[in-house]
C-alpha cells in the first residue's frame, strides 16, 4: 500500500469529515464557563476507541475554572503501532468562545451549505480536529502495520490559557519524551501555512501611589493618577516608538505584529465609578495599570522588564513623592521551532505534494497551546498546522471549508507517514 492510496482514502471520506465537524460543532463547548467538555471528550473518545485506540479521560482538577458544575475534562487517545518507533501527537482544543451577536445561522446547528460547515468553533478548531481524526483513521486503515504510535487529544480551555488542558496534561508527562516525539496542533492558520511558534508575552500590573486629601485642596495630598499620567506619557513618547522600530526576523503574521508591542490592557484610579449619585471629593491615593507587552525572539525578557522598570525609576527621581509597585502577572517566552525540525519538514513535504506549492512559514502574534508543550513538556518538535482562515475565528457566521479540511487532512496523513516511517530523526 502506498501513501497515494491513503490520500485517496482521505478524499473518499470527505462527507464523513464534514459530518464529523458538524457533529463536533453541535456540542456547545463554550468557554467560559467551560460547558459540555465531558460530552465532547466522550464523543471523540468513543469514536477512537472503536478504531482500536486506548482512551483516557483526564479531569484537570483544581485548575482555574474547574468545578463539579464545569469540570475540565480532556481526552487522550493512543494507538500503538506494530513495532517500536516515534510517536506523533495531534492536539486540538475542544473549547470555543461564546457565539456573540450578529449570526445569521444557528451557531451550534452544524449547518452545511456550499461546501462549508458553519458554526462556532467550525474554524477554531473543530474542523482541524476532525481533519486530524480522518487523516489518522485513513492512515491506520490502509497502513495497519505502522511503527511507533499515534495520539489524538481533545483538550480544554485553550481559549482561557490552556491551564485546564494542555498545561495540565503536560505537567503529567503527556507532552514529553519518551511518550511523544512530534506534535501537530491543527489550529486554523490556512492550509498552506506552517506556524512555527509565537511571540513572547509579559503581563504586569503597575501601581502608582499617592496620598489622600480633600479634593478642594489637592496640594495637601499627592495624586496617584497624575503620577500614572506621567508614566503613560513616557510610554507614549519614549517606549512605544522604540518598540515599533524594533523589527523581528520572525515571520509573524500579520506583518504589523513583526515589531515589539505594548498594549495598555486596563487602567483604574481613584474612586470606583459604580457609586450612586455624586462622587466624594478625594485626591486618589492609588492608580493601577495592566500592561500587555509582546516581545520578540531578539529580545530577552530581563531586558523587556528592565526597560519598563527603568522608566519607573527615572520618574521616581524626577517627580517628588513618586512611588510605585510592579507585579508580574504572566509571562511566556517566545518560541519558534526550527525550519529543519522533523515535524516542519514532514508537513512541508505534505504541502508541496498535496497542494503543489511551497509552504508559508509563519509565527503567531499571540500564544497558543504550543507554549505549554515547549515550556512544560520541553518538547521542541511542535507546530500549528490546520485548515481554516484565522480571520474567521471568533467571528459571527464562522465556517470552515470542506475542501480546505480535505486538503489539510491529506497533508497531515502525508506528514504522519513521513514522521513514522520516513527515516526522520526520532
Q: Which residues bind Zn ion (CB under 5 A)?
A: 124-125, 187
Give the C-alpha separation, 140 to 249, whole Å.
Answer: 39
Residue 36 or 323 with smaller CB distance to Zn ion: 36
Give the C-alpha separation, 400 to 392, whole Å.
Answer: 9
Distances (CA, A) of 122 to 23, 93, 126, 128, 242: 10, 12, 5, 8, 39
Is position 95 annotated as part of the catalytic site? yes
What is the number of alpha carbons within 13 Å of residue 260 lying toward its C-beta? 21
What is the number of alpha carbons within 13 Å of residue 341 lying toward its C-beta? 20
- Give the shortest CB-126-to-Zn ion separation in angstroms: 10
The residues pairing with 191 across neighbouring beta strands, listed in sequence order, are none
Residue 189 or 252 with smaller CB distance to Zn ion: 189
Residue 187 or 418 with smaller CB distance to Zn ion: 187
- Give the shortest CB-402-to-Zn ion separation in angstroms: 19
Is position 331 annotated as part of the catalytic site? no
- Give the shortest CB-160-to-Zn ion separation in angstroms: 11
Contact 315, 230 (CB under 8 A): yes
Catalytic one of 124, 158, 285, 381: 158
Residue 92 or 424 with smaller CB distance to Zn ion: 92
| First-last CA distance in the chain | 23
SS3 3: helix
Residue 9 or 183 with smaller CB distance to Zn ion: 183
H-state helical runs in 123-274: 127-142, 166-171, 224-234, 240-245
Only one residue has cell 485548515, namely 387
- Give the shortest CB-128-to-Zn ion separation in angstroms: 8
CB-closest chain residue to Zn ion = 124
Contact 398, 122 (CB under 8 A): yes
Give the C-alpha separation, 35 to 99, whole Å.
Answer: 13
Catalytic one of 66, 95, 222, 418: 95
- Give the shortest CB-294-to-Zn ion separation in angstroms: 18
Residues that are catalytic: 95, 158
Amino acid at each position: 500500500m502506498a501513501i497515494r492510496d491513503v490520500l485517496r482514502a482521505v478524499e473518499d471520506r470527505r462527507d464523513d469529515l464534514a459530518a464529523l465537524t458538524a457533529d463536533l460543532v453541535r456540542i456547545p463547548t463554550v468557554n467560559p464557563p467551560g460547558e459540555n467538555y465531558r460530552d465532547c471528550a466522550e464523543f471523540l473518545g468513543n469514536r477512537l476507541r472503536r478504531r482500536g485506540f486506548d482512551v483516557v479521560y483526564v479531569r484537570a482538577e483544581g485548575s482555574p475554572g474547574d468545578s463539579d458544575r464545569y469540570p475540565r475534562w480532556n481526552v487522550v487517545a493512543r494507538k500503538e503501532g506494530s513495532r517500536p518507533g516515534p510517536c506523533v501527537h495531534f492536539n486540538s482544543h475542544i473549547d470555543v468562545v461564546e457565539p456573540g451577536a450578529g449570526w445569521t445561522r444557528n451557531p451550534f446547528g452544524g449547518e452545511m451549505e456550499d461546501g462549508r460547515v458553519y458554526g462556532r468553533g467550525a474554524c477554531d478548531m473543530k474542523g482541524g480536529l476532525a481533519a486530524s481524526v480522518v487523516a489518522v483513521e485513513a492512515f491506520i486503515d490502509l497502513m495497519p502495520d505502522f511503527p511507533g504510535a499515534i495520539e489524538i487529544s481533545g483538550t480544554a480551555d485553550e481559549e482561557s490559557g490552556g491551564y485546564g488542558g494542555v498545561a495540565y496534561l503536560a505537567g503529567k508527562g503527556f507532552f514529553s519524551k519518551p511518550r511523544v516525539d512530534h506534535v501537530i496542533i491543527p489550529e486554523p492558520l490556512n492550509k498552506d501555512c506552517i506556524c512555527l511558534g509565537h511571540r513572547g508575552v509579559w503581563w504586569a500590573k503597575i501601581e502608582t501611589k499617592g496620598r489622600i486629601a480633600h479634593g478642594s485642596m489637592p496640594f495637601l495630598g499627592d495624586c496617584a493618577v497624575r503620577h500614572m499620567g506621567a508614566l503613560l506619557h513616557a510610554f507614549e513618547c519614549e517606549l512605544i516608538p522604540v518598540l515599533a522600530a524594533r523589527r523581528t526576523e520572525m515571520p509573524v503574521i500579520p506583518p504589523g505584529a513583526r515589531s515589539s508591542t505594548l498594549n495598555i490592557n486596563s487602567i483604574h484610579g481613584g474612586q470606583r465609578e459604580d457609586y450612586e449619585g455624586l462622587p466624594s471629593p478625594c485626591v486618589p491615593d492609588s492608580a493601577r495599570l495592566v500592561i500587555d507587552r509582546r516581545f520578540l525572539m531578539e529580545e530577552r525578557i530581563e531586558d523587556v522588564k528592565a526597560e519598563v522598570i527603568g522608566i519607573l525609576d527615572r520618574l521616581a527621581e524626577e517627580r517628588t513623592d513618586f512611588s510605585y509597585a510592579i507585579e508580574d502577572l504572566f509571562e511566556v517566552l517566545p518560541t519558534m521551532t526550527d525550519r529543519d525540525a522533523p515535524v516542519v519538514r514532514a508537513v512541508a513535504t505534505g504541502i508541496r505534494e498535496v497542494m503543489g506549492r511551497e509552504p508559508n512559514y509563519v509565527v503567531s502574534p499571540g500564544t497558543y497551546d504550543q507554549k505549554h508543550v515547549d515550556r512544560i513538556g520541553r518538547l521542541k518538535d511542535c507546530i500549528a498546522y490546520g485548515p481554516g482562515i484565522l480571520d474567521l475565528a471568533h467571528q459571527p457566521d464562522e465556517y470552515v471549508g470542506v475542501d480546505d479540511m480535505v486538503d489539510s487532512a491529506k497533508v497531515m496523513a502525508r506528514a504522519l507517514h513521513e514522521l513514522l516511517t520516513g527515516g526522520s530523526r526520532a
